[in-house]
Amino acid sequence: MNEKRERYAKVFCGDLWQAQIIQSLLEANHIECILRNELQAPFSSTREREGKVWVLVSNYDEIIAIAVIKESSRPSNPYN
């Protein structure tokens, strides 16, 4: 993602471990994303920081990213 040219949409906000799971999910679905802390500073996944972490995607990918996240959070019921 070219950070200077694209606008970003926040598709998730939570703890580091939650954001990393969402990041993995999106990347597995070929959606590029970046993690940022509340101060919008570049976030290193190897260092924990206090506060919440945002998962950002390109505005172009926002709708599909939200759909992927919602689909993954649906409970699966094998008896339907």
35 contacts 22 by C-beta, under 8 angstroms: no
pTM, whole model, 2 decimals? Answer: 0.73
Q: Provide the number of structural domains found in the chain.
A: 1
Q: Which residues pair with 36 in a beta bridge?
A: 42, 54
Name 42's bridge partners.
36
Q: Tell me the C-alpha distance between 12 and 73, whole Å.
A: 13
- Please compute the mean of the pLDDT values over residues 39-53 and round it to a whole number: 60
* 37 vs 23, residue with greater confidence: 23
74 occurs within a structural domain: no
**79 falls within a domain:** no
User: How confident is the model over 28-40, as pLDDT tens digits?
Assistant: 999 999 999 866 5
In a domain, residue 6? The reply is yes
What are the start-end ranges of the E strands in the chain?
Answer: 8-14, 33-37, 53-58
Largest Cα–Cα distance in the chain? 48
26 occurs within a structural domain:
yes
Q: List the domain range (segments joined by +) for residue 2.
A: 1-54
pLDDT at 5: 61
The verdict on residue 76 lying in a domain is no
> How does the average pLDDT of the chain come out, rounded?
83
